[in-house]
Amino acid sequence: MVSEIKQISGNAVPLIGNDIDTDRIIPARYLKAVTFDGLGEGVFIDDRKALNGQHPFDQIQYQGAKILIANRNFGCGSSREHAPQALAKWGIKAVIGESFAEIFFGNCVAMGIPCVTAPSETVKQLQELVTANPQASLTIDLEKLQVQMGDFTVPVFLGEGTRSTFISGTWDACGQLVANAEQVKATAAKLPYIGWEILAAS
């Protein structure tokens, strides 16, 4: 199935700090956008301006990174879906962290972005390894529940229910509906409150 996500490989970007909230990931002024297009340019924009080019998302060695390594309670604050959307538009495909805010985690799952957790010491080691060698590729293996970077391999955690949806591809609710369109129509045809006009239009 196209939506199966079993491994994510690529360069990583370390982002050190606890309790990085969704307003820092993408400021509220960006919520006026009609679509999510272009949100990648605004990711961490206020922090990046304050650090005058020294923010990891601005540093040349981390451009093109697919994996974000964060710390504790990442994505806390408001429930805005724009936060994981902005990360995704920048290029992030997966996140490793000590812990995640529940709604942020759920929004990431709905978008196909695995968020795996590891103890603080493990996360710190990964951040240090990436800082020392930003061009090294890192792999998150959801089947083995481990992260590998060169000779360094560590276990990570992802709840079994969430893990199985990524591996099977069932995380993609829209994809599931499209793939089973005929069954959806057949079920809808049996329901008295679904008009034939709607079915015909679909």
User: pLDDT at position 183, please?
Assistant: 73
How far apart are the two ends of the chain, measured CA to CA in Å? 24
Q: What is the pLDDT of residues 84-114, one digit of tens each?
A: 999 999 999 999 999 999 999 999 999 999 9
The answer to whether the beta carbons of residues 91 and 68 sit under 8 Å apart is no
Count CB neighbours of 73 within 10 A: 17
Mean per-residue pLDDT for 130-137? 97
Which positions ≥6 away from 138 have C-beta within 8 Å? Answer: 9, 10, 11, 12, 67, 126, 130, 147, 148, 149
Residue 64 has pLDDT above 70, yes or no: yes
pLDDT of 31: 86
125 to 68, 69, 102, 156: CA distances (angstroms) = 14, 10, 25, 13
Res 197 pLDDT > 70:
no
Binning pLDDT at 50, 70 and 90, where does residue 9 land?
A: very high
All residues at 6 or more sequence positions from 175 whose CB lies less than 8 Å from its CB, including other chains? 2, 3, 169
Whole-prediction pTM value?
Answer: 0.86
Q: What confidence tier does 182 reach under pLDDT thresholds 50, 70, 90? A: confident
pLDDT value at 200 more than 60: no
Closest CA to 146 of 175, 126, 168, 173: 126
* Alpha helices (runs of H) in the chain, residue ranges in sequence order: 22-25, 45-50, 82-90, 102-111, 120-132, 160-168, 173-179, 181-189, 196-201
C-alpha to C-alpha distance for 184 and 178, rounded to whole angstroms? 9
Lowest average pLDDT, out of 74-83, 121-130, 188-197, goes to 188-197
The yes-or-no verdict on residue 196 having pLDDT over 50 is yes
In this predicted structure, what is the pLDDT of residue 120? 98
27: exposed, middle or buried (C-beta count within 10 Å: 0-12, 13-18, 19+)? Answer: middle
Which of these ranges, 10-14, 60-64, 108-112, 197-201, has the smallest mean pLDDT?
A: 197-201
Higher pLDDT, 83 or 3: 83
Give the model's pLDDT for residue 1.
43
The reported pLDDT for the residue numbered 201 is 58
The larger pLDDT score, comparing residue 149 to residue 190, is at 149
